Structure 1
Amino acid sequence: MMQISESYNQKNSLFNTMNRFIGAVNNMDQTVMVPSLLRDVPLDEAEDVKTPKTATNGSAFLHQDGNMYGSYVLLKSIRNDIEWGVFQGDERRKEKVGVAEVSQEDDLEKQFHFHLNGLHTVLSKLTLKADSLTTRYKEEIGCRN
């Protein structure tokens, strides 16, 4: 009984969300054999019913090129950042000095939960985007699985 409860809670863990996203992008990457074919395929947000069409939901950055190729490259880049890490320059380290550092220490737990929730939400949306792109690619090349 305890194990069922634990696995249900683990379903929404950040680790599992990252794994689902990485799995979706890996599936997309293995499915899309000729990425350049995506250059002429416009993004169709009508299929993505679960993602609201507001500029604040983070989907605006997926429209930067206006085609599926831009989304494909972006999703792969984010996957690589998750798997290999992001290098931070000296600018980021310089921001954490003096008074700013003291005020940040006061509410680290609040900031952690805020960013954890945001990361979970963004990764879930990106996973849906990768799955949608994979499905659209299959439709474009005539593979109806």
Structure 2
Amino acid sequence: MMQMPELHIPKNSLFTAMNRFIGAVNNMDQTVMVPSLLRDVPLDDDKRQGEREPGRYLQEAEADMYAYYTQLKSIRNDIEWGVVRAEEKRPKEKHLVTETARTEPDSEDVDLEQLLQYHLKGLHCVLSKLTSQANNLTNRYKQEIGIAGWGQ
């Protein structure tokens, strides 16, 4: 019988970062029992913790914790189910995708390994920030409902 070797995944790998983010969003999703309580709760509180405002990618009118909660869940779904599904859901973002494609050099002129490293570093950085922000949202929700000391 052939045994599978135990997988050792470095803590800085993209796979680990994705798992950390998905775990943080799953924890957030399980903790936030009543997402509507997040409506109209400003994101300002994260600034005092030294974090940048997580809602900066949302429209100013939508910049409350509920909008950010739904955005984090959407990103998790995009990671779990794939980008094709996300593109089908959001055709208005195709413009952004085509802009990105135009700014990247032709694959014949660029070292693909170097390009991959660039994108992996970027993905890892974004996933780390999103993980931190999902954890912050979970903690803020606990504060809002009065269970700030539980499970930390």
Question: Residue 35 of structure 2 corresponds to which residue in structure 1?
Answer: 35
Distance in 2 between the 1:48 and 1:84 partners? 32
User: What is the CA distance between 1:25 and its match in structure 2?
Assistant: 0.1
For the 8 Å contact 2:55–2:64, the answer to whether it is kept is no
Question: Residue 125 of structure 2 corresponds to which residue in structure 1?
Answer: 121
Percent of matched pairs sharing the same residue: 55
Question: Residue 109 of structure 1 corresponds to which residue in structure 2?
Answer: 113
Distance in 2 between the 1:74 and 1:112 partners? 26
Match of 1:72 among 69, 78, 83: 69
Distance in 1 between the 2:59 and 2:130 partners? 13
RMSD: 2.8
Pairing of 1:1-145 with structure 2 (within 5 A): 10-44=10-44, 45-49=46-50, 51-52=51-52, 60-62=56-58, 64=60, 65-87=62-84, 100-103=106-109, 106-144=110-148, 145=150
Amino acid at match of 1:112: L
Q: TM-score, normalised by structure 2?
A: 0.72
User: What is the CA distance between 1:59 and its match in structure 2?
Assistant: 6.0
Q: Which runs of 5+ in 2 are unaligned?
A: 1-6, 89-93
Q: TM-score, normalised by structure 1?
A: 0.76
Q: Which runs of 5+ in 1 are unaligned?
A: 1-5
- Which runs of structure 1 show a deviation greater than 4 angstroms over 4 or more consecutive aligned residues? none
Q: Which has the higher helix share?
A: 1
For the 8 Å contact 2:25–2:131, the answer to whether it is kept is yes
